[in-house]
Amino acid sequence: MKEISTYTPESCTGDCQGCGKTHIKVFGAHNTASQLLRARVMLALEATGLDGKVLEVSEPGVIQVCGVSSLPALMVEGRIMAEGIVPSVDQIIDLLKHQNLYRSKLFRMRSICVPVDLSPEAANALKFAWNVANQLKSNLEVIYAMDSIFEGSEPSASGFLSGYQTTMKKELDNFITESLDSIGVAYSPAKGMGNPGTPANPNSKPFISSRVIYGAPDVALTEYSKEVDMMVMGTTGRGNIGKKFFGSVSIEVSKTAHSPTIFVPKEAEFRGFQQMLYASDFDSLNPLSVQQATTFAKRFDGQIHFVHVGAGGEKGLDEQRKVFEAEYGEANPDRPFIFSKMVSEDIAGALYEYSFYHRIDLLVFVTHHRNFWDTILHKSITNIALLSSDIPVLIIHSDNDLINGSDS
């Protein structure tokens, strides 16, 4: 049964729970566009066989509270799925079938955050991130974590701290200006902070903003990652083998971030993501992660290579391939399915060998366990030459990179 109603001040504006229905809101002004959106939603519900409850919302105050910035808009289960457009029936059907994909940060990609420490590596990451944001039409926020002049995680109320923050903000803005000027991009600090959750104008360059935050960098960045759709971080090349690979802060963030994160080696240059390597193992069969990576690659007109590294004669590999192929096809890719098996005990070494011969632009890892990187780094400890690789790495945190998802 498809149920439709109109919002009134007396009606419930929230999504009822436990009734088994798919809750949908259509935001509009009772004009042609909103009526067309409603009609297409009803057709999509009929086609999918879902039991849906559709609520029409036209009161300006409610629209604003719900976070809608452009009409007409479509919300499914409390999450905005489309704004300012009327999706086709097929697009709405796809949206209803893949709700988790549409609420994933890697799919939405409205805001990209670049943590910097004013180093050359950070400048390179900023330029890399700007190119990614420009490709995806995302907003770009550059942040600096300040923790050296107060105790604990809360800033002091002293005037000195306030003055120091102002000084750091100026240094940060100067850093952004100089870094982006080298690639012909103008930055204007006078534009203000902006809102990292506001969609970028698809016809304009990325909106760039800056911000100084407080706290130990790894802790502050992990917390801040909850507010953005992606982080892009430079690697420092300092410390022991593990820290050389990511940097002391980066390696901690790779374990704990609440958003997908790209780590950019200091010599890496953005050249698009034409070829992406998805490091597959039996833990990375998560269907949503495969679809996330596939749709991300599609936005760059890229090809994904699913590469498994393991011992010869492994059991269950055929089943793994079938799962990857099924979920890959479900994401409607533009490129053929590629699955490769490499026999080796050195996971990182084999992946980089494959990357070299196939001109890989981005390595993709799906993490499920906190000790993931400890395992990878231990296995690659004899391959010190790999530490100079110029291939960026994308980490997808399968358990906590959904919008309003779990923070576990």
Q: Are 384 and 290 within one domain?
A: yes
Taking the CA of residue 340 as centre, how many other CA atoms within 13 Å lie in the half-sphere pointing to its CB?
Answer: 17
Q: Which residues pair with 365 in a beta bridge?
A: 395
Residue 398 within a domain: no
Q: Are 123 and 20 within one domain?
A: no
Q: Are 194 and 338 within one domain?
A: no
Looking up residue 33, the CATH number of its domain turns out to be 3.40.30.10
Q: Are 115 and 257 within one domain?
A: yes
Residue 270 within a domain: no
From 34-38, 121-125, 309-313, 317-321, the region with the lowest mean pLDDT: 309-313
Q: Are 206 and 185 within one domain?
A: yes
DSSP state of 144: E
The pLDDT value recorded for residue 178 is 94
Q: Are 131 and 11 within one domain?
A: no
Rounded CA separation 405/267 (Å): 34
Residues 6+ apart with CB under 8 A from 342: 307, 308, 309, 310, 350, 351, 353, 354
The pLDDT value recorded for residue 286 is 76
Q: Which domain holds residue 335?
A: 275-391
Looking up residue 122, the CATH number of its domain turns out to be 3.40.50.620
Residue 23 has pLDDT above 70, yes or no: yes
Q: Are 347 and 387 within one domain?
A: yes
Residue type, 389: S
Torsion, Cα of 318, 320, 323, 327 (10° steps): -130
Residue 399 within a domain: no
Helix (H) or strand (E) holding 338: strand 338-343
* Domain edge (last residue) among 216, 231, 264: 264
* Domain edge (last residue) among 264, 285, 303: 264
Comparing CA positions, the residue from 343, 338, 358, 354 lying closest to residue 386 is: 354
Average pLDDT, whole number, for the chain? 78
Highest mean pLDDT among 185-189, 313-317, 372-376: 185-189
Rounded CA separation 74/33 (Å): 12
Q: What is the pLDDT of residues 138-158, one digit of tens each?
A: 999 999 988 755 444 454 555
The pLDDT value recorded for residue 315 is 81
- 347-357 helix and 372-379 helix, angle to the nearest 10 degrees: 80
Strand bridging mode 261-264 / 393-397: antiparallel
Helix (H) or strand (E) holding 134: helix 120-136
- Contact present, 348 and 386 (Cβ < 8 Å): yes
What is the count of structural domains for the chain? Answer: 3
Q: Are 180 and 256 within one domain?
A: yes
Residue 407 within a domain: no
Residue 330 has pLDDT above 60, yes or no: yes
How many CB atoms lie under 10 A from the CB of residue 319? 11
Calculate mean pLDDT across residues 379-389: 40
DSSP state of 215: S
From 42-46, 177-181, 248-252, the region with the lowest mean pLDDT: 248-252
- Contact present, 340 and 354 (Cβ < 8 Å): yes
Q: Are 354 and 258 within one domain?
A: no
Residue 247 within a domain: yes
* Domain edge (last residue) among 244, 264, 284: 264
Q: Are 125 and 235 within one domain?
A: yes
- The residue ranking higher by pLDDT, 286 or 282, is 286
Q: Are 84 and 153 within one domain?
A: no
Comparing CA positions, the residue from 79, 44, 73 lying closest to residue 58 is: 73
Angle (CA) 311 313 316, round 5°: 95
Q: What is the pLDDT of residues 268-278, one digit of tens each?
A: 899 999 999 99
Residue 339 has pLDDT above 90, yes or no: yes
Q: Are 149 and 64 within one domain?
A: no
Calculate mean pLDDT across residues 329-334: 83
Rounded CA separation 113/126 (Å): 9
Rounded CA separation 264/126 (Å): 9
Rounded CA separation 234/112 (Å): 14
